[in-house]
Each structure stands twice: as C-alpha cells, then as structure tokens.
Amino acid sequence: MDVIELLPRLHLLRFPVGQAYLWRDGEELTLIDAGTIGAGPVIAGAIRALGRAPEDVRRVVLTHFHEDHVGGAGEFAALSGAEVLAHRLDAPFVRGAAPGPAPRLAEWELPIRAEVAGRLPEGTPLPPPSVTEVTDGEVLGFGGGAQVVHVPGHTDGSIALFLPAEGVLFTGDTVAALPAEGVLSPGDPVAAPAEHTLIPGVFNLDRDRLLASVRRLAGLGAEVACFGHGDPVLRGAAAALRGAAAM
C-alpha cells in the first residue's frame, strides 16, 4: 500500500484496488473507506508509521458497500475500536446481513469488471461490530463539520463527504479520475497532476441517478476532490467536476 500526503491534514492510502483517505483533526483521526479484505492490519501499520496509533482513529466513514471500500472496515474496527458509519440504505450490506445488489453493467464494462474482480482478495469480510447509520444532510464531527451528501446511483446508499471549512470533497465511486501525466506517488510534493480527466463512476445500479448525483457534487464548489479510484484533484476541483457532470 502507498501512503501519500496530499495536504498537511490529509493522506491518501492506495491499495492494489481502490483507495482510502486519512483525515487529521489535532489528535483525532478519521478514515474514509477501508480497502479490501486484509486491509485492516495494513492500515493500522501505516498509521503507526505516521507516528500515530490505530486507536487515534475515532470513526471509519464508508462511502458505499462495495468490497474494495468495506473489506477492511471490520478488521480495522476490531483493532482500533473506531466507530463505523454508513448510509442507512447500504448499512445492511456492510453489516453482512444480506448481499448487496449487483451492478447493472454495460457491455463495455464487463471486461473491466472481470479484471478488477481478478485482483480482489478472496474471502468474506469481517463485519464491523456495529454500524452507525447516517443520512443526507447530517454533519459529522470532523474537518470543521463534514456534511453527508447522499449520492445514489453507484449504489442506493452511496454518500459523499463535503468539508466546507476546508473545501475538501470525498466522492467515493460517484466520480473517478482516469490515469494522467504526473501521477502521484509516495514522496511527491503536494501538487495536482497537470491534467485530470474525471468521469462518472462505473459499475452502477442506476446510471441516470448517478449522473444526477455527479451534478449535485459539481455544485458544491469544492477546491479539492478525492475519489475512490484515481488521483485526487488538489486545485480547482469544482470546474473539473462540472466537466464530468456534462458527460
């Protein structure tokens, strides 16, 4: 796993499939998404390498129930005691009470999905000991007040998190960034790649609802946008998101 400092209070945790984010408020940490099965101990090790303890993570906020975002949540919660939060519509799948609905794939998505599936670890995720349900408009206690933004389409209970005081937006898989020149790697200075191509997310339940959600995110006025897949935009995110919303 790569650990990349994006901002003084924000690190990107990049896994072989997907990524998570670590936000710092003084002595308190928040984890946004938790990687695949087996990622829990790896995340804990990365936090220790940053000079902190896993117990400093007060909450793990999951943007949706897919395995590359929730696979490590139960593992990490068991190690750290962190609270796990998810939207009420995705929470049953995070808890392991039922399998989540499969995406409705377009023909062109089928080979991409097969390639991604082949890179995912096998096994059944450890369900978190409990899951706190959140809803649209709720404000969470980190980043100066993190607004929960319900963005259905990728899954019914997908959420984004917007930190108005910081201008930072976590989109989950509602938006993705395609590879570009200047890909961030460990040790890079804090700077955005020269070009970003943002697209609406793939592997969705309802693409029309997803596109409406992308338009909602584009209207938030974020300066920084962090995605479930692809390099973050660290400057001028709102304009980049409007481009994705127009697709």
| Residue 77: strand, helix, or coil | helix
The pTM assigned to this predicted structure is 0.93
Q: What is the pLDDT of residue 119?
A: 87
Q: How many Å apart are CA 217 and CA 150, to the nearest integer?
A: 10
Q: How many Å apart are CA 115 and CA 12, to the nearest integer?
A: 23
Check: CB of residue 200 under 8 Å from CB of residue 247: yes
Q: What are the backbone angles phi and psi of residue 165, rounded to the nearest 5°?
A: -65, -25
Q: How many Å apart are CA 215 and CA 162, to the nearest integer?
A: 14
* Alpha-carbon dihedral 12, 203, 237, 135, rounded to 10 degrees: -80
CA-nearest of 42, 11, 55, 18 to 190 is 11
Apex 119 CA angle, 94 and 234, nearest 5:
75
What is the chain's pLDDT, residue by residue, as a tens digit (247 residues)? 899 999 999 999 999 999 999 999 999 999 999 999 999 999 999 999 999 999 999 999 999 999 999 999 999 999 999 999 999 999 999 999 999 999 999 999 999 899 988 888 888 888 999 999 999 999 999 999 999 999 999 999 999 999 999 999 999 999 999 876 444 555 444 444 445 689 999 999 999 999 999 999 999 999 999 999 999 999 999 999 998 888 7
Check: CB of residue 144 under 8 Å from CB of residue 164: yes
Give the Cβ contact number of residue 118 at 10 Å.
8
Q: How many Å apart are CA 86 and CA 81, to the nearest integer?
A: 16
Q: How many Å apart are CA 179 and CA 197, to the nearest integer?
A: 8
| Residue 194: strand, helix, or coil | coil
Which helix (H) or strand (E) segment is 225 a member of? Answer: strand 224-227
Q: How many Å apart are CA 90 and CA 158, to the nearest integer?
A: 7
CA-nearest of 163, 156, 177, 165 to 228 is 177
Q: What is the pLDDT of residue 125?
A: 84
